[in-house]
Amino acid sequence: MAQRGKKIQDERLLLALACGVTVEAAAQAAGLSKRTAYRRLEAPSFCQRLQQVRGEMVQRTSGMLTAAAGESVKALLALVKEGTPPAVRLGAARALLELGMKLREQADLEQRLAALEAAQPAPHGPRTKGRTW
pLDDT in tens, 109-127: 999 999 999 999 877 655 5
> What pTM was computed for the model?
0.60
Determine the Cα–Cα distance for residues 16 and 77; give it in Å rounded to an integer: 38
Contact (Cβ atoms closer than 8 angstroms) between residue 37 and residue 23: yes
Strand, helix or coil at 107? helix
Pinpoint the alpha helices (H) of the chain: 2-18, 23-30, 34-41, 44-80, 86-119
For residues 129 and 34, give the distance between their C-alpha atoms in angstroms, rounded to a whole number.
49
pLDDT in the model for residue 122: 74
Task: Quick: pLDDT tens for 18-31.
Answer: 999 999 999 999 99
Collapsing DSSP to helix, strand or coil, 133 comes out as coil
Distance CA(93)–CA(79), nearest Å, equals 8
Distance CA 58, CA 72 (A): 20
What gap in Å lies between CA 37 and CA 17, rounded to an integer? 10
pLDDT of residue 127: 55
The one-digit pLDDT tens for each residue of the chain (133 residues) are 467 778 899 999 999 999 999 999 999 999 999 999 999 999 999 999 999 999 999 999 999 998 999 999 999 999 999 999 999 999 999 999 999 999 999 999 999 999 999 999 877 655 555 544 4
Determine contact, residues 50/26, Cβ cutoff 8 Å.
no
